[in-house]
Amino acid sequence: SKDESGFAAPPLVSQGVAVAAVGYDTAPKGHMDAMVLQVRRSLAFLAQQYSGIRGIYLCGHSAGAHLAAMVLSTDWSEYGVVPDIKGAVLVSGVYDLEPILHTYVNNVLNMSREVAQRNSPLLCVTPAAAAATACEVVVAVAQHDSPEFRRQSQEYGQALRAAGWSVSLLDLAGVDHFDIIEKLSEDSYVLTQVGEELPPSL
């Protein structure tokens, strides 16, 4: 939830970066289509509310990385604004939802195959437009993530590259699915450094 994401803010705020934590309705209240729509609307709202900012950088972990990746595939013509997305840091994400259909996780999500397919970033990669080529995407995965997380991160990063996006793949040693993101509160952590190298913005 957005309430649990504030720990990552201090190192970024200390460097002059404004941080917004986005919330959404989780399952079973939230359906996958609704979750993606809520996050896209949040980005549109931020872009309209803070039109003077020098760019937006997305960061998400696990399900959050999935939603941030779906933002990258958005057709903004439906939202009346085009957020200036300069970069994305996607950490231990889920980029193909179809394997979830066969697990207990789908008992709560209740996704059909069609819902899973249209909300799978791996299947929704759009060719990089002129703006997208200037967008730096970091796809990070933990050494001790499950083989499925590692496979999906590799395949999604390769799919973005094939579509013309600028992508860096980070395979972080000595961390698992949880401490790869929990360590963002540490100033010296590699992903924190990635964030601090970004120009002051949102």
Catalytic residue IDs: 62, 145, 177
CA 118 – CA 37 distance, rounded (Å): 12
Burial class (CB in 10 A: 0-12, 13-18, 19+), 29: exposed
Contact 39/23 with Cβ under 8 angstroms? Answer: no
Residues 6+ apart with CB under 8 A from 34: 24, 25
Q: Does residue 90 sit in helix, strand or coil?
A: strand
